[in-house]
A = this chain, B = another copy of it.
Amino acid sequence: MRRTTVADEIKKLILTRELKPGDLLPTETELCETLDVSRSSVREAIRTLSTLDIVDVRHGHGTYVGAMSLDPMVEALVFRGVLSPDGSLAALREVVDVRLALDLAMADNIVDGAIDDDSDELSALVDDMVDKASRGEMFLEADRAFHTKLFAVTGNRLAAQLVGAFWDIHTAVIPQLGITVPADIQRTAEAHGDMLASALRGDVEGYRRAVVEHYKPLQRAISARRNEQ
């Protein structure tokens, strides 16, 4: 039996036993017996499934059904992004364009969504960003938290995961590129406040404008870096 087939058999077993993310998988010995394959085939298949985040091997505890996150995609894309300096810039620009596209496209859902409950937390994140920007510091964590929290209200788990995944690519690629903190990063910090305020008063157009503004300092930094090369 080929490796992919054993992995497929384990996937089938997860389905037929109706296991959910976080549930414990049968032991290696049990899998060998149930699937009638060697221990090394089971290990290989588990490794493949673990790389894909379909199972989660917790050493000393057992193997669980994984979260099936987009982490494998992030790993491949980050690597593609750093393959060459020129490629990285192009990759980063693509990521920014797709993020912008998703942000604009989900504007209605976000403005209509129930963000009132989260407004204090979102507001605190904006304050944190503005504060850091005023000291010339980056604010990646607060920025990521702001966007993922905002997308969570859309109820579209895939869109929310994608935003998180693009954020990770973004964050991993930027330091490799030697892009310094843009001088006008303060505007990005403040534009998050405009996004939040527009969303809270139900102003979709205002939200969209703030989204566009919010990417401009980064887009300018990427263009400047491109011209240097």
Q: Are B68 and A77 in contact (CB under 8 A)?
A: yes
A121, CB-defined interface residue at 8 Å: no
Minimum CB–CB distance from A137 to chain B (whole Å) comes to 28
Q: Are B54 and A51 in contact (CB under 8 A)?
A: no
Q: Select which of B18, B72, B95, B101 is within 8 A of A72 by beta carbon.
A: B72
Across the interface, which residues of B come within 8 angstroms of A83, CB to CB?
A: 14-15, 20
Q: Are A101 and B44 in contact (CB under 8 A)?
A: no
Q: Are A75 and B98 in contact (CB under 8 A)?
A: no
The distance in angstroms between the C-alpha atoms of A79 and B156, with both chains bound, is 17
Q: Are A98 and B48 in contact (CB under 8 A)?
A: no
Residues 1 to 24 of chain A near chain B (Cβ within 8 Å): 11, 14-15, 18, 20
Q: Are A159 and B51 in contact (CB under 8 A)?
A: no
Please judge, given known A-B contacts A101-B159, A157-B94, whether A69 and B79 are in contact too, CB under 8 Å.
no
Q: Are B159 and A98 in contact (CB under 8 A)?
A: yes
Q: Are B98 and A101 in contact (CB under 8 A)?
A: no
Q: Select which of B11, B18, B95, B158 is within 8 A of A158 by beta carbon.
A: B95
Minimum CB–CB distance from A22 to chain B (whole Å) comes to 12
A134, CB-defined interface residue at 8 Å: no
Q: Are B95 and A106 in contact (CB under 8 A)?
A: no
> In the complex, which residue of chain B has the Cβ closest to the Cβ of A11?
B79
A91, CB-defined interface residue at 8 Å: yes
Give the interface SS of chain A, mostly helix, strand, loop or mixed: helix
Residues 185 to 208 of chain A near chain B (Cβ within 8 Å): none
A181, CB-defined interface residue at 8 Å: no
Residues 44 to 102 of chain A near chain B (Cβ within 8 Å): 44, 47-48, 51-54, 68-70, 72-73, 75-77, 79-80, 82-84, 90-91, 94-95, 97-98, 100-102
> In the complex, which residue of chain B has the Cβ closest to the Cβ of A69?
B76
Across the interface, which residues of B come within 8 angstroms of A15, CB to CB?
A: 82-83
The distance in angstroms between the C-alpha atoms of A48 and B44, with both chains bound, is 10
Using A51-B52, A101-B106, A101-B159 as known contacts, list a sample of 7 further A-B pairs with CB atoms less than 8 Å apart, ordered by residue number in A: A15-B82, A18-B84, A68-B77, A72-B72, A98-B158, A101-B101, A101-B105
A-B contact pairs, 10 of them (CB 8 A): A11-B79, A14-B83, A15-B82, A18-B84, A44-B47, A53-B76, A68-B79, A72-B76, A98-B159, A98-B162
